[in-house]
A and B are shown apart, each in its own frame.
Chain A
Amino acid sequence: MRTARLVLTRLAGIVFAILVIAVINFCLVRAAPGDPAMVIAGQSGSTDEKFLAQVRADYGLDQPYAVQLGTYLKKIVTLDLGYSFRQGRPVSDLILERLGPTLLLTLSAFFISLIGGVVFGALAGLRHGKITDLGISLAALVLYATPVFWLGLMLVLLFSIKLEWLPAFGYADMRAKTFGTVGYALDVLKHLILPALTLAAIYMAAYTRLMRAALIEVAAEDHVKTARAKGLSESAILRGHMLRNASLPVITFAGLQIGALVGGAVVVETVFSWPGLGRLTFDAVTARDYPVLLGLFLVMSILVIAVNLLTDLIHRLVDPRLAVR
């Protein structure tokens, strides 16, 4: 019963979110200067009248706005995200083939940043006021202020150009298909290191700061004193009574940050020519391919909401108070 209610609440939330995103898309197209049909067709300058006419009929652009919105929503429900005139392919196909690399990049960055943030933050919090804390806090402060694209370039400069340790661009070597499955995977991994680290570093900085503050706060809580009064050793107190409690706000925050992480992935993929949704975004921006952009925004948002559900689940596992309610 409780689970059913939870699922129902979640589903309603997702439907509401998708509705809001669709409405944003819809309004944007109408707010754009010029003919909405041109925006939907993704054209500027040269025009193909026949295609435009088809778009107008398809999206019912001569109808009142309410009907137009209904038409648009219906299209979304049937997974019709429009057609990229420039690429000559349906938007959904374009997005689908780029989904894998983006998931690989963002998920690895997510876990690296979360684990790194918790570890470094805990370390700094434990050594509160000592030199370790100072070093970690300073590094976090600087990383937190670093533009992600610039960090990527600097890492390329160092590890690819100066040291020649890692490949600078791309997803895999051109010849990688001939390496065999394991060889191919290793090659992708080699290409993944720099972009994943770049993307993870910024968020790791944020989580480190948060974890540090949370640990310092938890350390002052009464139940830690109770644990001490029981005769537990400091390391047992840390493991049993502080780490889990302090990582709760970090997990909550990380869940909220998934959207930003995906946004960061757009920039990182651009820097590293990583063939994911982000790179597709950059190409669509350069080509002013609006249907692709609109579709990307929708799909990425849904992706984020899905991952959010996942973090919510993790949260429920860690915090019994949520699980029971």
Chain B
Amino acid sequence: MTLLSVENLSIRLPKGADREHAVSEISFDINPNEIVCLVGESGSGKSMIAHAILGLLPPKVHADQGRLDFAGKDLLQLSKSETMALRGGDIAMIFQEPLTALNPLKKVGEQVGEAIRVHQPTIAREALTTRVEELFTQVGLPDPSRLRKAFPFQLSGGQRQRVMIAMALSNNPKLLIADEPTTALDVTTQRQILDLIKDLQEKRGMGVLFITHDIGVVADIADKVVVLKQGRIEEQGPAASVLDTPTRDYTRMLLDAVPGRGSVQAGETHANPLLEVKGLQKEFVTRQGLFAPPRRVLAAGNLNLTLREGETLAVVGESGSGKSTLARMVLRLIEADDGAILWHGKNVRGMGREALRQYRRRAQIVFQDPYASLDPRIPIGESIARGPMIFGTPRAEAEADTRQWLDRVGLSPAAFDRFPHEFSGGQRQRVCIARALIMKPELVIADEAVSALDVSVQSQVLDLLSDLKSEMGLSMLFITHDLRVAREIADRIIVMQSGRIVEMSAAQTLFDAPQEDYTRRLLDAVPGRDFFARQQARAAV
């Protein structure tokens, strides 16, 4: 028996969008007690399908073809009151960003209680409270009687998502729609939420439509997979068959693009140290008011590390671990409180203005957000050429150089005069790489440089970086939250947590024999780990 059957669904976009339909001719089924993963890159239209099911499409966007068959009724033809009865009743939904998805001004218990009361208006107050606390317990929230009185901003990201799940479960839905529910979370939290969803689904026999861009997540939880590309279904079927024996190139590409498989980089070098960090210390102090005690956050507690010439060192950590602060302190974009940063043995923290300028020329950075790291008012060629010109290269030569570099990072030299908003995220990141490398640096710091990119683009940019690195003999300090990416590119890996270095070892060692508990937890949390390990083992045979 099918729970929800999507038949030939098309969703029309308003005029002026980049294409006519968000999705076209989509058909798939969801059965009770099964998880269907809808996987695709950004722009594939996967979220639109989820929103169409609950009648939550944005204004001016509507389904112009197809049926959504749920319990014998077409969801697209329901009356307003029928839709409202269904929402949060038989079909519930959770969203990507639990912070914004909760009303900041209401206690979380009230928000969950509200969801119950809409569908059971006669429920007594005590019964409601009991039910809310029961739900909180089910989703693993500690101390429910206290926590239900908390406001969203007082909870952690993972706790907020648990509240969202409790809210969704409050009327025992038959179908749960989860729209990228773990994307905004740290990797260890993501693992807990995934386990929770899987567990609840099995206990309750729910059907789950799980939307994600991460094929690793798919491998972990899916019973059935639907692969979307540009609004059309590429391939669908049972998880085992789609993942193990994909029939389409696109699916294969998605699988191959997942970083962190294959063999790790060739281990250690004994070249001269290029950059040494000794006893680096940084604490952020924010003052709320004149008399309030300042809040202190440790960003760097006695950091020690060495980067040798030609080496790639990855710094891995979850949000708040201090990894980005480290990158910025190395370039003195943020001043450290104490400690030393040695560049070819010279202390960077003691450099005067001119020495610092010369140093920064040799140590370039590529930032995370390709949308924020290019000046929107300046043509990209100009942004790149300005670097060498500051150091005395004549304009004509700098421009010619720039065109060469544009070509080298895979863009057309004719892109010189175009503005950042004319490029995609991946293209912009290529521009940023060109801007860094035209300075002929010895060190490139990549601060989450591929985190904002789709997985296929991510692997291209990673390839570009490692090609250029070996070509130019660069050293690289690679900051990332993603262990898979680190494994892909690094010789050695540092794991950071709350401003401290937890573990530092060669990439191979770290993956095969992690020393610290936290490292092991990080490794276990990597989505799709078992699947890819199996796949690799099979390939080896």
Verify whether A and B have any Cβ pair under 8 Å. Answer: yes
User: Once the chains bind, are B103 and A227 in contact (CB under 8 Å)?
Assistant: yes
**B 126-171 contacts with A by CB, 8 A:** 151, 153-154, 164, 167
Complex Cα gap A226–B93 (Å):
8
Contact stretch, chosen from A117-125, A179-187, A238-246, A264-272: A238-246
Assess whether B533 is interfacial by the CB under 8 Å rule.
Answer: no
User: Once the chains bind, are B88 and A223 in contact (CB under 8 Å)?
Assistant: no
**B 354-398 contacts with A by CB, 8 A:** none
**A 196-236 contacts with B by CB, 8 A:** 221-223, 225-233, 236
Known A5-B292, A226-B101, A325-B288; contact A231-B87, beta-carbon cutoff 8 A: yes
Known A9-B289, A230-B87; contact A225-B56, beta-carbon cutoff 8 A: yes
Q: Which of B92, B103, B106, B167 has the most CB of A within 10 A?
A: B103
**A 231-264 contacts with B by CB, 8 A:** 231-233, 236, 240-241, 244-245, 248
Complex Cα gap A325–B154 (Å):
10
Taking Cβ atoms with an 8 Å cutoff, the residues of A that contact B are 5-6, 8-9, 12, 221-223, 225-233, 236, 240-241, 244-245, 248, 318-321, 324-325
Residues of A within 8 A of B87 (CB): 228-231
For the complex of A and B, 6 pairs with smallest distance between CB atoms: A231-B88, A230-B88, A231-B87, A222-B100, A230-B115, A223-B103
Residues of B within 8 A of A244 (CB): 105
Query: Nearest CB to that of A244 among chain B residues?
Result: B105
Residues of B within 8 A of A245 (CB): 103-105
Known A8-B291, A9-B289, A321-B153; contact A230-B167, beta-carbon cutoff 8 A: yes
Residues of B within 8 A of A5 (CB): 289, 291-292
Assess whether B328 is interfacial by the CB under 8 Å rule.
Answer: no
Known A223-B102, A321-B151; contact A231-B84, beta-carbon cutoff 8 A: yes
Interface size class of B (residues with CB under 8 A): 20 to 34
Assess whether B7 is interfacial by the CB under 8 Å rule.
Answer: no
User: Once the chains bind, are A321 and B103 in contact (CB under 8 Å)?
Assistant: no
Residues of A within 8 A of B74 (CB): none
User: Once the chains bind, are A229 and B103 in contact (CB under 8 Å)?
Assistant: no
**B 76-131 contacts with A by CB, 8 A:** 84-89, 92-93, 95, 97, 100-107, 114-115, 118-119
Assess whether B274 is interfacial by the CB under 8 Å rule.
Answer: no
23 A-B residue pairings within 8 Å (CB atoms): A5-B289, A8-B290, A9-B292, A222-B100, A223-B103, A225-B56, A226-B164, A227-B103, A228-B56, A228-B87, A229-B56, A230-B88, A230-B167, A231-B86, A231-B115, A232-B88, A232-B114, A240-B106, A240-B114, A319-B105, A321-B104, A321-B151, A321-B153
Known A5-B289, A229-B87; contact A223-B104, beta-carbon cutoff 8 A: yes
Assess whether B54 is interfacial by the CB under 8 Å rule.
Answer: yes
Query: Nearest CB to that of A6 among chain B residues?
Result: B289
